[in-house]
Copies of this chain bind each other. A is one copy, B any other.
């Protein structure tokens, strides 16, 4: 195990009907909110009405900043920042999935700086202050509800980059699993892929092999996510499966799985971000294409951990270590296919001949994240495995 600091101050309020607590939770941080949400779905499902009724009851007024899209874009974040400043809001209330939460974190930071919010993404400025953030989650996937990071795409430069600061942990996150019952099958699958991706990044890239606690944590989470995703696809309002999936996705990226594992990377995210930036692929869909390819590449270098994964998650005990290691990639790929998430570039209508351009785009993030092993050639080789 390696040294670490773990500090996750987000308060989680979890359970059916907890959406009604948003007003009271928000009132603790101010009387005027910026209400951030996505497309029209929260109005269709009634969540919008529940949230605004609760705010009203708690004496919180609000201005609205709807229209966050999946793979949220910088332009819309900047509009939100301007609105938050002009209206002098005290607090941000984010109602949606990871995209809405990530955009809201960016606005929370942008509203408290005189500079441009994008500076936080390109390491030209550090977040020194931020508006408090309350979230109401409607999609169990990204873990943004209990961490301090966010991802936004600069639509001009085609950079899907990240912001991060301890000041960006939500103060309170309301996790009401009922709000996810209406998530359709495709996004349920992408969400499972996303949560799994968060877990395997650290699991497979940590240089420390003495992390039995974190290993079992990750393996147990992935087994559980696999189980409950299948239950949800079979029965979308399966209360226990939706609840378990919601909490599992939160755990998958709240710092628990990586505390103590030392240096690790996000190579799958690095490559996927280029797919999203260039083709606007849903994040989870991009990941289910990239992950099996990356795992096939990496399993050959460090087979032991991949073989352990194949054994503990998929019950594979036969064959050589190398064979089991490659089976880890194959088994996950087959499971992604089973739940209906794409596993090849072609399935997402991304032409194979674009691989060099994708690899070029991905090197920007590889450099930003210090993933020195990944030059354009290596990334292209990995993408070849995704065909």
Tell me the A residues contacting B by CB distance below 8 Å: 1-16, 18, 177, 210-213, 216-217, 219-221, 223-224, 227-228, 240, 243-244, 247-248, 251, 256, 259-260
Contact = CB atoms under 8 A, between A and B. Distances in A.
Contact of A18 (B3, B18, B221, B248): B3
21 contacts: A1-B244, A1-B247, A4-B12, A4-B14, A4-B15, A5-B12, A5-B13, A6-B12, A6-B14, A7-B9, A7-B11, A7-B12, A9-B9, A14-B259, A212-B227, A213-B220, A216-B223, A217-B217, A217-B220, A219-B220, A243-B260
B240 A1 contact: yes
Nearest to A16: B3
A18 B4 CA distance: 10
Contact of A14 (B9, B256, B260): B260
A334 B217 CA distance: 26
A2 to B, nearest CB: 7
A213 B248 contact: yes
A8 B212 CA distance: 23
A269 B253 CA distance: 33
Contacts of A13: 5
A149 to B, nearest CB: 18
A224 B228 contact: no
A309 to B, nearest CB: 14
B240 A260 contact: no
Given A9-B9, A220-B219, A220-B220, A213 B14 contact: no
Given A3-B14, A16-B3, A220 B216 contact: yes
Given A1-B247, A3-B15, A216-B220, 10 more contacts: A1-B177, A5-B11, A6-B11, A6-B12, A8-B8, A210-B240, A213-B221, A213-B244, A216-B216, A247-B260
Contacts of A12: 4-7, 259
Nearest to A21: B5
Given A9-B9, A11-B6, A244 B16 contact: no
Contacts of A212: 224, 227-228, 244
In the A-B complex, the 8 residue pairs with the closest CB atoms: A3-B15, A216-B220, A7-B11, A210-B240, A1-B243, A6-B12, A9-B9, A213-B224
Contacts of A8: 8
A19 to B, nearest CB: 12
Contacts of A5: 11-14
A13 B260 CA distance: 11
A212 B7 CA distance: 26
Contacts of A217: 217, 220
Nearest to A208: B240
A298 to B, nearest CB: 23
A287 to B, nearest CB: 21
A18 B210 CA distance: 20
A15 to B, nearest CB: 3
A217 B220 CA distance: 7
Contacts of A7: 9-12
A251 B213 contact: yes
Nearest to A14: B4
Contacts of A251: 213
A161 to B, nearest CB: 28
Contacts of A259: 12, 14, 247
